[in-house]
């Protein structure tokens, strides 16, 4: 898990989105996490930490050298909301900093996924979490996602054409107030690895949702395999 910082990173609030370590030099995140309206472009990354406010040395903190957004991503749209970040040097790998496995199969047979991030645990509550959080969410069908995020429906100015099952998927909870929320963007949705015991694979990147924690209203995640195998 990676925590991203923006601009000059002069305050705790300038640490925002999450990311996924995928190699010694690259971090996968959401397209809208390449820049902050308040602080500017993404500039820093903390790797292998649990506490957001943790003071780290050079083995845990890296500068962002290059930003590679999806060629079809156009802010503020949430379509193609995925990007790669290259660090200024190789990341030191250890038991807390390990490149994630990316799921390359289709379809997903798992009925749930684990989502992690430092986001807020209460919608419209600006204080985001200091300790890394995780939640197990149910996978919603494409039909349910399409109904929730229908074209031109309420709050769909960033997704006017509605849900796109080719590049998006939905996770939430039908009955409980379990969800990702503000500050969780760019982090992973993971399922158990189909072959390796006690291993997980990243299937999606946290992208967007109307509101947080409403039973029956899932959030949107960008699927990783269309990026791995375009076309």
Q: Where are the domains of the chain?
A: 2-87, 101-228
Are 52 and 128 in contact by the 8 Å Cβ rule? The answer is: yes
Helix (H) or strand (E) holding 157: none
Q: What does the pLDDT read at residue 107? A: 63
Question: What CATH number was assigned to the domain covering residues 101-228?
Answer: 2.40.10.10
Catalytic site includes residue 72: no
Rounded-to-integer distance, Cα 231 and Cα 229, Å = 6
Please tell me the predicted confidence (pLDDT) of residue 154: 81
Q: Among the options 14, 32, 184, 207, which is catalytic?
A: 32
Whether residue 81 contacts residue 222, with contact meaning beta carbons closer than 8 Å, is answered with yes
- 185 catalytic? Reply is yes
Total-model pTM: 0.92
Residue 205 pLDDT? 98
State the catalytic residue, choosing from 14, 44, 70, 81: 81
Residue 206 · residue 150 · CB < 8 Å? no
Please identify which of the residues 14, 185, 201, 207 carries the catalytic annotation. Answer: 185
Distance (Å, whole) CA 111 – CA 15: 32
pLDDT of residue 176: 95
2-87 in CATH: which number?
Answer: 2.40.10.10
pLDDT of residue 121: 86
Comparing CA positions, the residue from 17, 64, 12 lying closest to residue 43 is 64
Task: Write out pLDDT tens, residues 77-126.
Answer: 999 999 999 999 999 999 999 999 998 876 676 789 999 999 998 876 66
What is the C-alpha to C-alpha distance for residues 187 and 2, in angstroms, rounded to an integer? 8
Per run of 10 residues, the mean pLDDT along the chain (length 231 residues) is: 89 85 97 93 95 89 96 94 97 93 75 94 79 96 95 86 95 96 96 78 94 94 79 49
Residue 32 appears among annotated catalytic residues: yes
Contacts of 111 (CB under 8 A, 6+ apart): 138, 139
Fold match, 2-87 / 101-228:
yes
């Amino acid at each position: 898990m990676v925590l991203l910082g923006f601009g000059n990173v002069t305050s705790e609030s300038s640490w925002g989105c999450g990311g996924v370590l995928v190699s010694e030099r690259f971090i996968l995140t959401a397209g809208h996490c390449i820049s902050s309206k308040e602080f500017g472009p993404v500039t820093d990354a903390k790797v292998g930490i649990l506490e957001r406010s943790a003071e780290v040395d050079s083995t845990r903190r890296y500068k962002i050298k290059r930003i590679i957004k999806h060629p079809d991503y156009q802010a503020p749209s949430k379509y193609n909301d995925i990007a790669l970040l290259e660090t200024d040097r190789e990341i030191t790998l250890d038991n807390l900093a390990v490149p994630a496995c990316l799921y390359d199969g289709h379809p997903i047979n798992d009925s749930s996924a684990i989502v992690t991030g430092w986001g807020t645990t209460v919608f419209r509550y600006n204080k985001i979490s200091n300790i890394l959080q995780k939640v197990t969410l149910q996978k919603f069908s494409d039909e349910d996602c399409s109904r929730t995020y229908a074209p031109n429906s309420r709050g769909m100015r960033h997704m006017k054409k509605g849900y796109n099952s080719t590049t998006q998927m939905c996770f939430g909870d039908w009955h409980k107030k379990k969800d990702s929320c503000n500050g969780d963007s760019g982090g992973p949705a993971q399922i158990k690895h189909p072959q390796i015991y006690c291993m997980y694979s990243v299937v999606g990147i946290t992208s967007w949702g109307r509101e947080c924690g409403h039973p029956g209203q899932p959030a949107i995640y960008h699927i990783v395999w269309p990026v791995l195998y375009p076309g």
